[in-house]
Structure 1
Amino acid sequence: MFSFTVAAVVFGVVFLAELPDKTALAGLMLGTRYRPSYVFVGVAAAFLVHVALAIAAGSALALLPHRAVQAVVGVLFLAGAAVLLFKKDDGEDEVTAPADQSFWKVSGAGFTMILVAEFGDLTQIMTANLAARYDDPLSVGVGAVLALWAVAGLGILGGRTLMKYVPLKLITKVAAGVMALLAGISLYEAATG
């Protein structure tokens, strides 16, 4: 039986835990460069996979080797920061026109980025623990998915709005710096356990 109370509690917990996380940053960066609806489809699909895994695995996800996951995430963030900093500048300070962007390319990029970066994340483990605690997989799943989609949507739309006021070069450099910082934190956690 679906419980609105459980779904609401899970939504609140997951939303607050994910809001300051890398999802908003990833959504912001993708939202500045690509058509937001395409980005959201990929990101939303990745979160469905994450929540399904968390619900299916229950608290077993907490047993994943945290250090290895953090090391992979750290390396991916370093690679992302390097790509942002060293990519060839076309002199453009605007987003590519949506007509030039393939749905599958953009949504695939969003899906892949979130799928890899969020695997073993705090909110995925938290969702698994909440599923085990409440023994209500549907309510926990709905609450978690809606919370993750809300954070992603805020990041994607925030990126599009930000482009109206801040040059893309500056956004790219700031995002690269934040990604490098997140890489450092992830690699530090991997090294120290």
Structure 2
Amino acid sequence: MEAFLISTGIVALGEMGDKTQLLALLLAARFKRPLPIMAGILVATLVNHAAAGWLGAGIAAWLGPQVLRWVVGASFLAMAVWMLIPDKADDAPTAAGRLGVFGTTVVAFFIAEMGDKTQIATVALAARYTELVSVVAGTTLGMMIANVPAVLLGDRVAAKVPMRVVHAVAALIFAVLGILALAGVGQG
């Protein structure tokens, strides 16, 4: 349960103001069809984070517990710094084309998530925790917690949420997790 809750919280906070959340806002503004957009975000996130989680679990098995502790700790500290760097939206999608709103969302979200903070966090969390399904379920839920309101409420939410504070809190959480990992807290 710890892996699920931490994964959910970290990704929900980490996604606030992230480029994929900005993409969700852009898709919602462009297509005005929230259900296929939310479904597309869910599918893209599940596939992307399952692959990232699988990679993280593989890295954990390959490195061994001592090296892994240092890699995960350093990764979390790097994520803390990265959280303090705000994202900017890329070009807005111009049309759904042949893929439709759902397909466009799946493709756009999957590509935007590649190498993103939340994908890297999923790799690190899956390397840290042995419960791969809990990590992927948690990171996916965290993405949905951050993106569904963006799709449904659009600019009204973005204007009221203090992104600097959210990013600072997320950075603090990543830093604490990094320090705990380096200290060996929670290791068998």
TM-score (norm 1): 0.58
1:52 matches 2:47: no
The equivalent of 1:70 in structure 2 is none
1:137 matches 2:132: yes
2:107 and 2:9 mapped to 1: Cα distance?
A: 26
The equivalent of 1:23 in structure 2 is 20
The equivalent of 2:74 in structure 1 is none
1:122 matches 2:117: yes
The Cα offsets for residues 159-184 of structure 1, whole Å up to 9 and x where unpaired, read as: 2868xxxxxxxxxxxxxxxxxxxxxx
Equivalent position SS for 1:20: coil
Amino acid at match of 1:51: H
1:39 and 1:137 mapped to 2: Cα distance?
A: 26
The equivalent of 1:148 in structure 2 is 143
- Is there any run of 5+ residues in structure 1 with no aligned partner, and where? 63-73, 88-100, 163-193
1:159 and 1:30 mapped to 2: Cα distance?
A: 10
2:37 and 2:49 mapped to 1: Cα distance?
A: 18
1:140 and 1:119 mapped to 2: Cα distance?
A: 17
Report the number of matched residues.
Answer: 128
1:111 matches 2:106: yes
The equivalent of 1:12 in structure 2 is 9
2:116 and 2:110 mapped to 1: Cα distance?
A: 10
CA RMSD of aligned residues (A): 3.0
Q: CA deviation at 1:22?
A: 1.1
Runs of 4+ in structure 1 off by over 3 angstroms are: 101-104
Distance 1:38 1:149, change over 3 A: same
Q: CA deviation at 1:134?
A: 1.1
1:112 and 1:125 mapped to 2: Cα distance?
A: 19
Matches within 5 A, 1:29-178: 29-34=26-31, 35-58=33-56, 77=90, 80=91, 105-159=100-154
Q: CA deviation at 1:158?
A: 2.0
Equivalent position SS for 1:135: coil
Amino acid at match of 1:18: E
Q: CA deviation at 1:9?
A: 1.2
Instruction: State which structure, 1 or 2, has the greater radius of gyration over its C-alpha atoms.
Output: 1
TM-score (norm 2): 0.60
The Cα offsets for residues 32-69 of structure 1, whole Å up to 9 and x where unpaired, read as: 22210011111111101111111111175x9xxxxxxx
